[in-house]
Structure 1
Amino acid sequence: MKRFDIKVDKSSDYWCDFEGELCVYYNYTWNKESFLNDRINFIKKYIELTEKYKIAVPINSFDVLDLETTSLYSLYKKDSNYYFPSYLFLNSNDKVAQKIVSIDPLITLENSKTKFSSHGSIPIRIELIMREYETELICYIDNDIFNLWIDNKKTKRDPNIGGKGFWVDNSELAYLNTPRLNSFLRDLKKLCFDYGANKFEFENLGLNDFSEDGVLFDREVIYYEDTVGLLMPHQKIVKITI
């Protein structure tokens, strides 16, 4: 019998990536001509969106982009690595959200120079891929950091919380982090279709509580606007008018 009420001091200690094929994809597709018509303005709006919600925020300026290929990789590349920092609260008592580039092991952008490994798990990765006949934007998540409950290899092998069948309560951090992700995914979808995307696909390969509209909290998608009124001033890291 499973238990869903295991409380720990810091649930982010149990965040981890999933091995194998467990993941979710949010895919947007353009035919080549429709995307090329306004690619520069789209990328500028995309950057504004990432900076608004502090999700997959670029580490380089727009000026470094290779506009001939319209790749977003230049925004995230430093030396030989790619960094997709998202601002996350790691503890419910945190006064600031940290720029996380890997959650397993847990690494911030500031200490990534010495600790970053290509095997680390990125909170959310976003790729813009140009092909001969189409352009595809892919949002990729392969972890459980945004879920209310955590059930993974770390929880299963920890004898202090009960091991197999015991799910760790991640709700305090989820309410601080996930509504921003959901609002970001919603607004990204609108942006893509505003700029001519003609296809959207959502694929869930085995993760719990993910939907095409975002992460579910008890079968409901909660957006940042739904929770901001309950947050402390230092937790309101999105600058929006409610």
Structure 2
Amino acid sequence: MIKAVVFDLDDTLYDQFYPFKSALTETFPDLMPTLDAMQAFNVYRQSSAAAYAKVDQGRWTRDEMAQNRVNLMLQKQAVPPVTMAEALDFQVYYCANLEEITLFPGFRTAFDELSHQFELGIITNGRTEHQLKKIMQLDLPRWFKRENVLTSEEAGIGKPNPEIFTMMNRRLGLRASEMAYVGDCYSADILGAKRAGWRSCWFNHRQFEELDSSLIPDQTVADDQDLFNLLLALASSNTEEPA
């Protein structure tokens, strides 16, 4: 029986594309007429798990990660690499734009229902201070206790390492079989959750392809309305009296 529902943060609870595109426009205005911003964003998101793993392994500093992720997305469109300073400028603009983010429509209703039936949590890659600012901007403390929020910086490891999910088990005092995870990134969210023994829901609103057919999400939804319907159905089923 599921007793806790845990969420990814970035591009799962809010639309990360718009602050990303604005940061590209502010940092690289000369590139924007020819750059496919959505393709760049998709490459940036899909590189997330591997990038954080390299930071965890000590192979990249955080500044090197920032530069390498920007250059990877530009390389895919045959754009010359940028300097460290330019990549860090992009990060500054991007962080500033995140101060305007809002929840995907429908999450407030879903959280109101879920919070009465389940423990709610967040597992997110990123610096703790940076991620907590987003959480405050989204008004998430209304439903999520601070102790139920776990960042990769705080844990010392990032998704898709299953150990970060196991840490959440211990925080909540629950078994893996009692946990469900919702995330948009197959390589970070779904693989990590499944390897930790959790149930998983892939919020695949960017229409990515599955990367490992041996680890299949328990549920896959392609748009926010289907996700909210699934979450509300989960809350409703948990209130039903046993036969």
TM-score of the alignment, normalized to the shorter chain, above 0.5: no
Structure with higher strand content: 1
Structure with higher helix content: 2
TM-score scaled by structure 1?
Answer: 0.31
TM-score scaled by structure 2?
Answer: 0.31
